[in-house]
Amino acid sequence: MATYRYRCETDGPRDVVRPIGTAEGTLDCPECGVAMPRVFAVPMLALGSSSARSLIERTERSRERPDVVSAPPPAARRGPAPSTNPAWSRLPRP
Ligand SMILES: [Zn+2]
């Protein structure tokens, strides 16, 4: 089942649950009877789980109000991990 949205000019948006692929292009408004065109909207990804919702909210918040930090994260400060390849020991050192 999927949720489809239609918008009536006078009564506003209406959500209708139907099997996937069975939504009509227009639907008669239950309030005034006028044909409502279907509206395409973002899938309800944010309603999935609380962790997905908080990740989406943090990502959207970082666009305009990113978190302020005073130093790079600990893993980035150490640099890349040393290689275990023995051929690298023969390379010149800085
Ligand atoms: Zn209506």
pLDDT for the residue numbered 46: 47
Q: Where are the domains of the chain?
A: 1-43
Q: How far is the CA of 4 from the centre of ligand 1 (A)?
A: 16
Q: How far is the CA of 47 from the centre of ligand 1 (A)?
A: 27
pLDDT along the chain (94 residues), means of 10: 90 90 90 92 64 80 85 71 83 84
Q: How far is the CA of 45 from the centre of ligand 1 (A)?
A: 28
pLDDT for the residue numbered 12: 92
CA distance 2 to 18: 6
- Residue 3's nearest CA partner among 23, 28, 30 is 23
pLDDT for the residue numbered 91: 87
CB-facing half-sphere around the CA of 62: CA atoms within 13 A: 9
C-beta separation of 27 from 16 below 8 A: yes
- 29-46: string of b/e by CB count within 10 Å (b at 16+)? beeeeeebeeeeeeeeee
